[in-house]
């Protein structure tokens, strides 16, 4: 029986501020890649395409609105002290002020801890990123593992319903790691408890040793290992970041293979 574990890890470097744009930045101070460089001078407020003011990321219009807000604020008789903290929060929640970071790295790991594949997700760890990634590295139904662990498998399973991609996953059981399942997945989620609960798959439990057949925490262990490099990765350019990760992952894989052979 074959098995793989996939998970996202929050290590990242700076990237273009346009959602999901994979192109590298021309310098460590840039917010945009070269094809998107013109956006540096367009207001970042959604729906506003006005030019920005000097050394700002918003246009005159947002400036005026902000002034009005401030006047309203001054007109209030008393401002409670505990509200102060709230006022310090940025006005335009969810907008990208300054430089952007890529969302996460996604790993696919064997239960023996060898990393099969890794990819950068720029925008999010959504299913529209996860499903095509898995299909690209495991390109046929046969190449897919019989068991795939993923903390978000209930979302993936439901995402696949009625989609053409579902064919690709039809031979694969999508389960959730037993510890994660107990702590994070509600018992009252019918889809999750019938499709992703390891307890519904007795063939994945070894009665003799009273353990689960597969080491589903292999990916978590890899994530913990890679996070040790976070400090170094922080300020790298995308090219250095990808190169560094490729090299350390390959070296670790080789060391694991060597360990398994002896």
Report d(CA 6, CA 152) in Å as an integer. Answer: 9
Report d(CA 50, CA 132) in Å as an integer. Answer: 36
Under rule CB under 5 A, residue 34 binds Zn ion: no
Report d(CA 23, CA 262) in Å as an integer. Answer: 42
Reported residue count of the chain is 262
Three-state DSSP class for 176? Answer: strand
Among the candidate windows 88-96, 111-119, 181-189, 208-216, which touches Zn ion by CB under 5 A? Answer: 181-189
* 113 versus 217: smaller Cβ distance to Zn ion: 217
- In whole angstroms, how close is the CB of 84 to Zn ion at the nearest point? 27
- In whole angstroms, how close is the CB of 163 to Zn ion at the nearest point? 19
* 105 versus 185: smaller Cβ distance to Zn ion: 185
Under rule CB under 5 A, residue 173 binds Zn ion: no
- Residues 38-97, interacting with Zn ion (CB under 5 A): 43, 45, 48, 50, 59, 61-62
Under rule CB under 5 A, residue 185 binds Zn ion: yes
Report d(CA 154, CA 200) in Å as an integer. Answer: 14
Chain residues that interact with Zn ion, rule: CB under 5 A: 16, 18, 21, 23, 33, 36, 43, 45, 48, 50, 59, 61-62, 154, 185, 192
């Amino acid at each position: 029986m074959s098995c793989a574990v996939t998970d996202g890890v929050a290590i990242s470097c700076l990237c273009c501020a346009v959602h999901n744009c994979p192109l590298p930045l021309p310098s460590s101070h840039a917010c945009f890649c070269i094809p998107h460089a013109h956006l540096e001078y367009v207001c970042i407020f959604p729906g506003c395409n006005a030019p920005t003011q000097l050394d700002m990321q918003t246009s005159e219009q947002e400036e005026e609105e902000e002034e009005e807000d401030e006047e309203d604020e001054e007109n209030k008789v008393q401002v409670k002290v505990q509200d102060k903290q709230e006022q310090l929060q940025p006005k335009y929640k969810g907008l990208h002020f300054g430089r952007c970071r890529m969302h996460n790295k996604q790993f696919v790991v064997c239960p023996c801890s060898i990393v099969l594949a890794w990819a950068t997700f720029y925008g999010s760890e959504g299913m529209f990123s996860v499903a095509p990634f898995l299909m690209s590295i495991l390109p046929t139904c046969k190449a897919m593992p019989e068991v795939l662990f993923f903390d978000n498998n209930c979302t993936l399973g439901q995402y696949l319903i009625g989609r053409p991609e579902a064919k690709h996953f039809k031979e694969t059981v999508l389960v959730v790691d037993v510890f994660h399942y107990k702590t994070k997945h509600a018992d009252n989620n019918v889809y999750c408890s019938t499709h992703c609960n390891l307890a519904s798959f007795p063939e994945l439990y070894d009665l003799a040793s009273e353990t689960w057949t597969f080491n589903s925490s292999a990916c978590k262990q890899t994530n913990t290992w890679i996070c040790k490099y976070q400090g170094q990765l922080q300020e790298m350019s995308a090219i250095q970041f990808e190169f560094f990760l490729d090299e350390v992952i390959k070296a670790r894989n080789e060391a694991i293979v060597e360990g398994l052979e002896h």
